[in-house]
Amino acid sequence: MKPVWIKNAAQLVTVAGENGPRVREGMSDLGLIEDGSVWMENGEVVAIGTTSELEALYGSRAHEADIIDATGRLVTPGLVDPHTHVAYGGSREREFEMRLEGATYMEIMNAGGGIHATTRMTRDASEEELVAQTTRRLDSFLAHGVTTVEGKSGYGLDLETELKQLRVMKRLNDQHPIDLVPTFMGGHAVPQEYKGREDEYINVLINEMLPKVAEEKLAVFNDVFCEVGVFTPEQSERILNAGKELGLIPKIHADEIESYGGAELAAKVGAISAEHLLKASTEGVRLMAEAGVIACLLPATALYLREEAAKGRAMIDAGVAVAISTDCNPGSSPTTSMPLVMNLACISMRLTPAEALVAATMNAACAIGMQDKVGSLEAGKQADVVMWNVSNYQELQYLFGVNHVGSVWKKGVQVVG
Ligand code: NIG
Ligand code: FE
C-alpha cells in the first residue's frame, strides 16, 4: 500500500492532546495546524505537522507517495457516530406523516407502531436483506465523513433476531470500510407478545439473551430505553447490572421524553455514556459530571420529534463531556449526516463550532471506547481522515444542510472522492 501525503491544508484539525473525554475548555482544543500536512502509511498516521515540517522529514520519500494537495481545504479526523440503530429492516415514513398530523411518538408506539413496527420488519428480513439495507446506510455515513459507527440491536426483541442483527453488524464490520462497534439493546422495548408481562421479558433478556450475546462476543455495550411506559429505572438497573456481570459496558437511553431519573441511574451504574437527556434534571447532570459519564446528545432526534434539544451548553458548563450523534434510526432520526448533527449542536444546543467538532470526534470515540484508535489525528492512530470542501472549521458549521465532504480515507485507503 502506497503512503499518502496530504499537504498544504489551510487548516488541519488534529484534536491531538489528551486521549480521553474532553470537558470544559478541553472541548475547544482542536490542535489546529495551519498549512497542515499528514503522512499516512500502513493504515496509520505516521507524522503530522506543518507542510514545511513534513517536507523536511519526508520530502526525500515524496516520490513513493500519493500526494494530495489540500490547498484551501479543511482536513479533520474521520467523524465518529457513537449512537445508531443502523441495522434495521424496512422504513416508517407513514409515521412521519402521522406525527405531523398530531400523533405523538409514544402514542404511535403504544398502538403497535414505532419500535414494534420496525421489530416486525426486522424479524421478517433475512440476514442478507439486512446486510444489504445496512450497507446502503453505512455507505451514506462514509459519504458524510463518518468513519466509525456504533450500532445497536433492539429491533429483534427475541433471541434469534437480536443475534441476527448483531451478526449482521459483525459481518459488516469485517466487510465494510467503516468500523462498526456493536451494542446489545434487547432492552429497547417490551415486545408486544410480552405486553403486561414485562418482568417475564426482562427475565428472558437477562437469562437467555445476555449470556448468549456475551458468550458469542457479539457486543461491547448493553443499552436500555429507560422511559415512562418502556423500562422503569429499577428494571433498567437490573438489565444493566446483569450485562455488567457478563462484561458488557452499560449505556442508557435516558430522560428522552420525560424526566425519569435516567441521568442519575447512568451515574449510579457507572455507564460509559447516557443518551438523549432532553429532560435530564440538573442534579442528574451534576451526578453525571461527578461520575464521568459522557452525555451523548442527539439534536437531530429532538428536531425530528419537534422537541426542545438537550441543554448541551449547560452540560458542558457543568463539566460533562459531551459527544454528539445522529441516532440514525427509522423512527425518530432517519439520517446519516453527522455534519448536520454538528450544525444542529451549534444552532439548537449552543455548542461552539470547535466544541461540536470535538463532540463528533474525540468525545464520540470515548463514548464507545475507541479513543486509542480513532477520534484524533496523531502518530500511531488509524489514518481515518476527511478533507472538506471548506477552508476552516467555522465554515463547516456555518454552511449548514450541505454535504461538504471532498475525500475520505479509512485506515489510509481513499474510500470517498
Ligand atoms: O434512540 N428512543 C428510543 N429509541 C430510538 C428510536 C427508535 C425508533 O423509533 O425506532 C431513539 O430515538
Ligand atoms: Fe437511540
Q: Which of 80, 77, 81, 55 lies closest to 387, judged by CA? A: 77
352 Cα–ligand 1 center, Å: 27
Q: Is residue 398 a known part of a binding site?
A: no
415 Cα–ligand 1 center, Å: 30
Ligand 1 binding pocket includes 183 (Cβ within 6 Å): no
Q: Is residue 304 a known part of a binding site?
A: no
* Alpha carbon nearest to ligand 1 atom 12, residue: 332
From the CA of 223, the nearest ligand is 2
* Ligand 1 pocket test target in 188, 258, 328 with most atoms within 8 Å of CB: 188
Q: Please state the rounded mean pLDDT for residues 168-189.
A: 98
Cβ atoms of residues 15 and 341 within 8 Å = no
Task: Show the cell assigned to 122.
Answer: 426486522
332 Cα–ligand 1 center, Å: 6
Q: Please state the rounded mean pLDDT for residues 247-255.
A: 98
* Ligand 1 pocket test target in 91, 255, 329, 335 with most atoms within 8 Å of CB: 329
11 Cα–ligand 1 center, Å: 36
Whether pTM > 0.80 for this model: the answer is: yes
Ligand 1 binding pocket includes 329 (Cβ within 6 Å): yes
Ligand 1 binding pocket includes 253 (Cβ within 6 Å): yes
Ligand 1 binding pocket includes 119 (Cβ within 6 Å): no
Q: How confident is the model over 64-107, as pLDDT tens digits?
A: 999 999 999 999 999 999 999 999 999 999 999 999 999 999 99
272 has a pLDDT exceeding 90? yes
173 Cα–ligand 1 center, Å: 22
Beta bridge partners of 32: 13
pLDDT at 162: 99
Q: How confident is the model over 17-52, as pLDDT tens digits?
A: 999 999 999 999 999 999 999 999 999 999 999 999
Q: Which residue has the cell 416486525?
A: 120
225 Cα–ligand 2 center, Å: 8
Q: Please state the rounded mean pLDDT for residues 201-221.
A: 98
- HEC string of the chain equals CCCEEEEEEEEEECCCCCCCCCCHHHHHCCCEEEEEEEEEECCEEEEEEEHHHHHHHHHHHHHHCEEEECECCEEEECEEECCCCCCCCCCCHHHHHHHHCCCCHHHHHHCCCCHHHHHHHHHHCCHHHHHHHHHHHHHHHHHCCEEEEEEECCCCCCHHHHHHHHHHHHHHHHHCCCEEEEEEEEECCCCHHHCCCHHHHHHHHHHHHHHHHHHCCCCCEEEEEECCCCECHHHHHHHHHHHHHCCCEEEEEECCCCCCCHHHHHHHHCCCEEEECCCCCHHHHHHHHHHCCEEEECHHHHHHCCCCCCCHHHHHHCCCCEEECCCCECCCECCCCHHHHHHHHHHHHCCCHHHHHHHCCHHHHHHCCCCCCCCCCCCCCECCEEEECCCCHHHHHHCCCCCCEEEEEECCEEEEC
Q: How confident is the model over 94-153, as pLDDT tens digits?
A: 999 999 999 999 999 999 999 999 999 999 999 999 999 999 999 999 999 999 999 999
Rounded to the nearest 10°, the torsion over CA 361, 353, 317, 367 is -10
Q: How confident is the model at residue 311 (pLDDT cuts 50, 70, 90)?
A: very high
Cβ atoms of residues 150 and 138 within 8 Å = no
247 Cα–ligand 2 center, Å: 21
Distance CA 115, CA 89 (A): 11
Q: How confident is the model at residue 1 (pLDDT cuts 50, 70, 90)?
A: confident
Cβ atoms of residues 252 and 266 within 8 Å = yes
Q: Is residue 327 a known part of a binding site?
A: yes
Ligand 1 binding pocket includes 118 (Cβ within 6 Å): yes
Q: Is residue 253 a known part of a binding site?
A: yes
Q: Is residue 85 a known part of a binding site?
A: yes
372 has a pLDDT exceeding 90? yes
In this prediction, what percent of the chain has a pLDDT beyond 90?
Answer: 100
Distance CA 167, CA 252 (A): 22
Q: Is residue 256 a known part of a binding site?
A: yes
Ligand 1 binding pocket includes 297 (Cβ within 6 Å): no
Q: Is residue 116 a known part of a binding site?
A: no
Q: Please state the rounded mean pLDDT for residues 245-260.
A: 98
